[in-house]
């Protein structure tokens, strides 16, 4: 759920790589900001009612600022384009940090695998791990010009530039193969959907249990409702509101029309901002956020994209 927002000021903007800018955000009165942990993100409110989640990528010991990095997407839905139009001194409404992508405290080795702009949360992990447990960072980029944080990462990461799909698959197989069979190793990945699918395939092929992978997605393929996605009745228990959800209409649309407040950010089923408790009914999960166990339990769902497999759905909203 999106937390209460505060007003922060852009102290500096830096070009990190081609089409990637980082923004240093500070409080307007110079006070310290709420603490956070590697893998955390903040939600930024932009013009036109846009809400976008961005990973924090500075060091957790920097208490006076948050740093985020944003890639200007060719198919931007407005968020990255709005961010790249901002200037030093501009004010932004920003939420307190929230972490859905934490480091595994029980792991003895951390293998970080980043694709493109997916380096942002993994860079924060990299900074935190430099003085601690055994780690390695693998960074796949289209070209050297597209690699962010090069001057800070230096020689401490393995870079893979300009690789095609077959080369990426082989490199991932080699990376995973070196640690397959070690239950004390945790893998982390973030990047484009196709890249993350390749990481998951490499882990599966090497027999690495799903529990040893932690991931965060920035975008998802459009959800395609299955044959069970007909109309149904929905009850928002906490709000005391009931409504019909016609076939082909999203729950979040109905909620807004009824005045039920469900926070959203990505509206693609990847960020978890709209995560809701299911009191009754069988969700049809069309998100890329919940894991298999959470989906099977049927107690949570993301109403921005998911639906219902039966005639009734009751949410704790």
Rounded Cα distance between 192 and 207, Å, is 23
Going by the DSSP 8-state scheme, the letter that residue 56 receives in this structure is B
Rounded Cα distance between 212 and 71, Å, is 28
What pLDDT shows up at residue 230? 67
Displacement of CA 230 from its chain's centroid (Å): 29
What pLDDT shows up at residue 50? 79
Residue 216 CA: distances (Å) to CA of 149, 227, 270, 291:
19, 28, 8, 12
Q: Which CATH class is domain 109-216?
A: alpha beta
What pLDDT shows up at residue 263? 84
What pLDDT shows up at residue 220? 52
The yes or no reply on domain 232-315 and CATH 3.50.50.60 is no
Rounded Cα distance between 9 and 25, Å, is 5
What pLDDT shows up at residue 248? 84
Closest alpha carbon to 230 in 156, 160, 313, 157:
313
Where are the chain's structural domains?
5-99, 109-216, 232-315
What pLDDT shows up at residue 219? 59
Rounded Cα distance between 200 and 219, Å, is 16
What pLDDT shows up at residue 133? 79
Rounded Cα distance between 10 and 315, Å, is 38
The yes or no reply on domain 5-99 and CATH 1.10.240.10 is no
The burial class, CB within 10 Å (0-12 / 13-18 / 19+), for 115 is buried
The residues, ordered by sequence, that sit 6+ positions from 292 with a Cβ below 8 Å of its Cβ are: 210
Q: What's the whole-model pTM score?
A: 0.79
Rounded Cα distance between 66 and 36, Å, is 9
Closest alpha carbon to 67 in 116, 19, 127, 112:
127
What is the bridge-based pairing of β-strands 109-115 and 185-191? parallel
What pLDDT shows up at residue 228? 44
What pLDDT shows up at residue 229? 53
Q: Per-residue pLDDT for the chain (317 aa), expressed as one digit of tens each? A: 345 689 999 999 999 999 999 999 999 999 999 999 999 999 898 887 778 889 999 999 999 999 999 999 877 677 899 999 999 999 999 999 988 899 999 999 999 999 999 999 999 999 999 877 799 999 999 999 999 998 888 788 999 999 999 999 999 999 999 999 999 999 999 999 899 999 999 999 999 999 999 998 765 554 444 444 568 999 999 999 999 999 889 999 999 999 998 988 778 887 777 999 999 999 999 887 787 788 899 999 999 999 999 999 999 99
């Amino acid at each position: 759920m999106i937390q209460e927002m505060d007003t922060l000021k852009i102290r500096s903007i830096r070009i990190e790589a081609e089409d990637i800018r980082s923004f240093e955000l500070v409080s307007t009165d110079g006070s310290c900001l709420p603490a956070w942990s590697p893998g955390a993100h903040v939600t930024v409110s932009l013009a036109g009612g846009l809400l976008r989640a961005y990973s924090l990528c500075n060091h957790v010991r920097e208490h006076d600022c948050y740093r985020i990095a944003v890639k200007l997407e060719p198919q931007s839905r407005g968020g990255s384009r709005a961010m790249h139009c901002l200037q030093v001194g501009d004010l932004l409404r920003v939420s307190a940090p929230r972490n859905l992508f934490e480091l595994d405290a029980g792991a003895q080795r951390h293998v970080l695998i980043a694709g493109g702009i997916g380096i942002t949360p993994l860079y924060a992990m990299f900074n935190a791990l430099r003085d601690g447990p055994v780690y390695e960072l693998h960074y796949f980029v289209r070209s050297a010009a597209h690699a962010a944080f090069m001057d800070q990462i230096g020689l401490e990461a393995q870079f893979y530039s300009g690789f095609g799909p077959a080369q990426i698959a082989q490199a991932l197989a080699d990376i995973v193969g070196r640690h397959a069979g070690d239950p004390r190793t945790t893998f982390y990945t973030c990047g484009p959907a196709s890249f993350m699918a390749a990481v998951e395939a490499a882990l599966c092929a090497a027999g690495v249990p799903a529990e040893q992978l932690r991931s965060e997605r920035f975008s998802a393929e459009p959800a395609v409702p299955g044959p069970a996605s007909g109309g149904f009745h929905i009850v928002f228990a906490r709000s005391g509101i009931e409504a019909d959800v016609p076939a082909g209409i999203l729950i979040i649309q109905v909620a807004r029309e009824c005045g039920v407040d469900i926070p959203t950010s990505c509206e693609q089923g990847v960020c978890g901002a709209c995560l809701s408790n299911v009191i009754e009914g069988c969700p049809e999960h069309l998100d890329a956020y919940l894991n298999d166990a959470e989906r099977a339990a049927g107690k949570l769902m993301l109403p921005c994209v998911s639906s219902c497999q039966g005639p009734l759905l009751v949410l704790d909203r």
